[in-house]
Chain A
């Protein structure tokens, strides 16, 4: 079990460019979550999929952020027209999906927008 795999580990983009972050959940886990971590805000919920279906995207900045889960083996988070305030560590987590199951986090993607 390789755990939750996130790629790339680090990404540097210029302001206005697009960034795509990848997440491969643990095989058999039905729930996939995306969080953003900054020193000021801590762990902010972005969006959540269950059985590949989008369930809750209430934490997503509406205009430039989008997430997809085209199959059970990966999810992507896309940020269009990146801004310096998007700089953060983006964490993906997966869960078996039962009511009281905990998360397994990936190692995160550290995004720096310059």
Chain B
């Protein structure tokens, strides 16, 4: 199976600064790494993902980095806004399986 560790569990930043969340995984066969954002009372929604044939992906203020050698991937939110405050989950999927294994989540709090 897969295990995913996610840190930090809580992240407080000032509006306009950047925020970084880090995840590590154990299974070197994992090849798909999505990130989900969950707002209070809502279901998790995919915000960005990266596949193992890439090292970096960027979209709309979000950057994902993947270091396969270190089995580590990270989410970077640039120019954070109060609307970015939410729970964020990283996940990993191994090549032979459709099941996602999730990290325990990071609560991001962006203060004005």
- Bound CA–CA A44/B89 (angstroms): 12
Contact of B51 among A50, A56, A100, A105 (CB under 8 A): A100
Contact of B43 among A50, A97, A108 (CB under 8 A): A108
Q: Check if A71 is an interface residue, CB within 8 A of chain B.
A: no
Given contacts A43-B89, A100-B32, contact A107 B102 (CB under 8 A): no
Contacts of B93 on A, CB cut-off 8 Å? 100
Contacts of A65 on B, CB cut-off 8 Å? none
Is B32 a contact of A41 with CB atoms below 8 Å? no
Q: Check if B60 is an interface residue, CB within 8 A of chain A.
A: no
Is B42 a contact of A42 with CB atoms below 8 Å? no
Contact residues on B (Cβ < 8 Å of other chain), bracket: 20 to 34
Contacts of B98 on A, CB cut-off 8 Å? 31, 33, 48, 50, 55, 95, 97, 99, 101
Is A105 a contact of B44 with CB atoms below 8 Å? yes
Contacts of B99 on A, CB cut-off 8 Å? 33, 45, 48, 56
Contact of A43 among B31, B34, B97, B105 (CB under 8 A): B105
New A-B contacts (10) at CB < 8 Å, excluding given A45-B101, A103-B46: A33-B100, A35-B102, A42-B103, A42-B104, A43-B44, A45-B99, A100-B93, A102-B46, A103-B34, A105-B44
Which B residues contact A (CB, under 8 angstroms)?
A: 1, 31-32, 34, 42-46, 49, 51, 89, 93, 95, 97-105
